[in-house]
Amino acid sequence: MSVGQKSVRANGARPKSVWRRLLILILLLPVLIVGIPVGLRWWTDYRYKQDIYDLERVPPRRVAIVFGAGVWPDGTLSAVLADRVDTAIALYQQGRVEKLLMTGDNRFANYNEPQHMREYALARGVPDGDIVLDYAGRRTYDSCYRARHIFGVTDAVLVTQAYHLDRALFLADHIGIDAVGVPADQRDYQFIEQYWWRELFATTLAWWEVSISHPIPVMGEKLPIFPDARY
């Protein structure tokens, strides 16, 4: 066989190898798209479940961070949000936290989660001086970032439903907050089983943000909850 024939065969084999690799990549892509989020979700749950407590056993912290979760047009808290605030009130009444940081969405003039959370807590006996409002907690990442860098929170109890709690703990940990969590599940919620799937990709995004992109949310002047706050 001549050198020219060998060259032709070698060049002819190369495209087949390229196509074979491309086919393998196409076949693996769905596995990666699903497998990476599932793996991150599993790891986050495994890593942070040790930091989740019930109301009677949670270690005391100075602040409870209460995440917003939807308010109806008449100002009524959604069932998910009402249970979060009720759980935070119980923490406060038991003396396990000193302040309640209500963080939620207020990007529109006619929608104000923190204010309605405040009104709900006031109606149940929490003094106004122990309620702090964060009007720019549009996402869990934003709420944790602003808690640390605007309000000077270094330790906290995170209050949210179980499906969301491990991601919130993951974010708080990587942003610099010594956090534990209390699940606020006080009833069966409609469509709650669908939230697990949403958390797959939300957890992947959380990992990307704390590891790669490091986005800066809406910021402003520092408003320390305690005079000795460390930034």
The one-digit pLDDT tens for each residue of the chain (231 residues) are 444 444 444 454 566 677 766 655 565 555 555 667 788 888 999 999 999 999 999 999 999 999 999 999 999 999 999 999 999 999 999 999 999 999 999 988 889 999 999 999 999 999 999 999 999 999 999 999 999 999 999 999 999 999 999 999 999 999 999 999 999 999 888 777 677 778 888 999 999 999 999 999 999 999 999 988 788
Asked if residue 24 is part of any domain, the answer here is yes
Nearest CA-CA partner of 101 in 66, 143, 55: 66
**Residue 132, pLDDT score:** 98
38 in any annotated domain: no
pTM: 0.84
- CB 179, CB 173: distance < 8 Å: yes
Q: Is residue 157 part of a domain?
A: yes
CATH classification of the domain holding 109: 3.40.50.620
Q: Is residue 69 part of a domain?
A: yes
**Claim to verify: residue 13 and residue 111 sit in the same structural domain:** no
| One domain, residues 21 and 133 | no
Based on the domain organization, do 12 and 116 belong to the same domain? no
58 found inside a domain: yes
Same domain, yes or no: 18 and 109: no
* Number of domains comprising the chain: 2
Residues with Cβ within 8 Å of 180's Cβ and at least 6 positions away in sequence, in order, are 51, 52, 53, 58, 59, 61, 156, 157, 158, 169
Q: Is residue 220 part of a domain?
A: no
Q: Which domain holds residue 135?
A: 53-213
Break the chain down into helix, strand, coil percent, rounded to 5: 55, 15, 30
Report DSSP state, residue 168: H
Residues 91 and 156 in one domain: yes
Q: 36 in a domain, yes or no?
A: no
121 and 8 within one domain:
no
Nearest to 157, CA basis, from 46, 47, 58, 44: 58
Judged on CB neighbours under 10 Å (0-12, 13-18, 19+), 147 is: buried
Look at residues 66, 64, 231 and name the one whose alpha carbon lies nearest to residue 150.
Answer: 231
Structure tokens given for 146: 């602003």
